[in-house]
Amino acid sequence: MTKSIPLLSSSQAIYLPRPRFNVFTPTHLQAFSTFSNSWVQCGISGGVEGFSAIADFCYLLKPNFTLENVAPIRAAAEFLGVTEVLECSKKFLYVNVFVQWQASISFLQHYRRLSSPVDEYVETRCLKVIVAACAKAFGETKYLTAPILFLANRTPENNHHRHTTSSQCQTLTEILVHMSSLPDAYASEAIEALVDAKVNLNLKCRQSRNVRSWLNSLIDNDCQTDRARCWVVLCLSRMLIKSAPAIRPWMELSSQYWCTLLEHVDHLVTMVDEVMKVAHLLQNPSSSSSSSSASSSLSTGQAPSV
Amino acid sequence: MVKGESALTKLFLMSLQVRLVVVKKVLEHRIGVGMEELDDYLHCYRFVPETLLSMIGYYVDEADPDPESLDEVAGEVDGFLWNFAETGSIAPDVFLSLFKVMMLQDLQRSMSKDKTRGKNLPAIFISVIFLDASHPCSIKLHQMKNESVLPICPILEFISTKATISKNACQTSATCFSGQMAQ
């Protein structure tokens, strides 16, 4: 019969069977001893899920990583200093998350912060992957072109419209749209990094009708929310300002790019103004009795689209 | 909780607004000063009046424009004013500011060239007068646009009130009108 290890707290004692090998250090025991009525209150990063995986590991059960549990397990492993699990989680993250920008974006979209060093680890690497992909897409895109609508393989079974554009430009558009749809803190950080990356825009924003139509299509059609539109416009404008020469002529052969961006900034500033006014009215209903369509959408509990 | 959320939303909106406004100011400045670099018509873009005014301000103050490009820009502003007036999307103050900027430029230019003033009315001036195209005086003015004598029409009266221009100036001639504005 195996002996048990008592995990004592002020209110209760938990007994676990003795592990097959001794991985517990004073740190572990100290952490375990903080148990009180709830597992969540134990103070271990990664919570129940993370701790459970580490406890299993002590009994030679390797963690079964998923996109949902890898961060909590890594957080617990880091807190308890279980290097083997740290290595395994790193491998998993590199194979499944940091491998391509789509995976990184998807991971960040659903990521819940754990107030652990793992937050920075995951976020920094994901953003690095996304920014590098975006910078690469800018570099590879020779010309910016809006998608052309055409009927592809029109058959009774396949009777729908298709859009086409150059694959590089399409990739760039997709990355920009997805990056701008990230939670605000991530979108903001990604944009900062992209601006600092000093991407060469010379060829991309050269004069042509396509430049304007690409921007309009990207901002008006591809971005699904006003919030994403704001981030895209901020990103492209700041990149342009950063890469433009400091002395005139700075718009040479790219004035359409400049003017179209200003056009959109103009529109977004007005729109954010309106939303803020409505928000103010809702907070202080006595200041005005009039209501607008925007205010009604807010009062019904819907979040503003910005 | 709801209060906290709405405060956060407000804070986020404010931060977004600040970022957008900062970027907008830089774009306005760069485009305004570099207006001569535009290869397209300015009025193809849907700028709001305040943005146009800001860009024109930068252009006039910093770009040191020559008469030809000033004429071009006046034509562009004229196009905007027509559009703004037709859609009723411009505040009187902004309208007057735009008008004054362009008129003062024209005055300075014509004074330096010592031309017979009033014969080369900038397009912007004509469009101001046409704002009330239904008024008989405006139509008459259309026919007289190369004449030096301008009759009174409601918009000029309006301008004279707002911009503290003497009514007599409007009654006599475009030259006097410009002169009074400069004073």
Pick among A272, A277, A284 to test the B interface (most B CBs inside 10 A):
A272
Do A64 and A139 belong together in one domain? no
d(CA A174, CA A266): 24
Report CB contact under 8 Å: B34, A304: no
Whether A241 sits inside 8 A of B23 (CB atoms) is: yes
A272 C-beta neighbours (distance < 10 Å), count: 23
Q: Compute the distance between CA of residue A101 and CA of residue A81 in angstroms, rounded to an integer.
A: 30
The sign one gets for the Cα dihedral A102, A103, A104, A107 is positive
Q: Read off the pLDDT band of B115 (50, 70, 90).
A: very low
CATH number at residue A80: 3.30.710
DSSP B23: H
Do A66 and A105 lie in one domain? The reply is no
Average pLDDT on A139-156 reads 68
CA A60 to centroid of chain Cα atoms:
34
A111 and A91 in a common domain: no
Residue A11 in any domain: the answer is yes
* Nearest-neighbour CA in chain B from A133: distance (Å): 24
Claim to verify: residue A19 and residue A122 sit in the same structural domain: no
Predicted-assembly ipTM surpassing the 0.85 threshold: no
CA–centroid distance for A88 within its chain? 23
Shared domain check, A137 and A106: yes
Q: How far apart are CA A98 and CA A176, in angstroms?
A: 18
**Is residue A114 located within the same domain as residue A212?**
yes
Residue A6 lies in a domain: yes
Cα B117 to its chain centre, rounded Å, is 20
What's the CA gap between B13 and B76, in Å, rounded? 34
A117 lies in the same domain as A6:
no
Task: Assess whether A111 and A77 both reside in one domain.
Answer: no
Q: Which domain holds residue A203?
A: 97-151+161-279
- pLDDT band of residue A2 (cuts 50, 70, 90) is very low
Both A168 and A88 in one domain: the answer is no
CB contact under 8 A, B39 and A267: no
Q: Looking at beta carbons, which residues of chain A come within 8 Å of B21?
A: 269
**Whole-number average pLDDT of chain B:** 65
Number of domains in chain A: 2
Residues of A in contact with B30 (CB under 8 A): 241, 244, 250-251, 258
Q: Extract the tokens encoding A219.
A: 């901002």
- The pTM assigned to this predicted structure is 0.74
Range B48-59 average pLDDT: 92
Could you write out the three-class secondary structure of A245-295? CCCCCCCCCCHHHHHHHHHHHHHHHHHHHHHHHHHHHHHCHHHCCCCCHHH
The mean pLDDT value for B41-60 works out to 89
Measured CA to CA in angstroms, residue A75 lies from A36, A94, A107, A227 at distances of 20, 16, 16, 31
- Domain C-terminal end among A49, A64, A96: A96
Q: What is the CA radius of gyration of chain A?
A: 26
In a domain, A296, yes or no: no
Whether residues A47 and A187 fall in one domain: no
Number of Cβ atoms within 10 Å of the Cβ of B175: 19
Q: Do A269 and B9 touch (CB under 8 A)?
A: no
Residue of B nearest to A280 (CA): B10
- Taking only the tens place, the pLDDT of each residue in A88-139 is 999 999 999 999 999 999 999 999 999 999 999 999 999 999 999 999 999 8
Interface test with B, best of A262, A263, A278, A299 (most B CBs within 10 A): A262
Model confidence at A145, pLDDT cuts 50, 70, 90, reads confident
Using alpha carbons only, what angle is made at residue B67 by residues B61 and B70, rounded to the nearest 5 degrees? 55
Domain of B176, in residue numbers: 2-182
Is there a single domain that holds both residue A131 and residue A21? Answer: no
Residue type, A126: C
Torsion of CA A228, A229, A231, A236, to 10 degrees: 140
* A87 and A109 fall within a common domain: no
For residue A200, the model assigns a pLDDT of 80
Higher pLDDT, A99 or B160: A99
Counting the structural domains of chain B, the total is 1
Q: Which residues of B touch A279 (CB under 8 A)?
A: 6, 9-10, 13
Q: What would the pLDDT profile of A12-57 be if each residue is shown by its tens digit?
A: 444 555 554 455 555 554 555 444 334 445 567 888 889 899 999 9
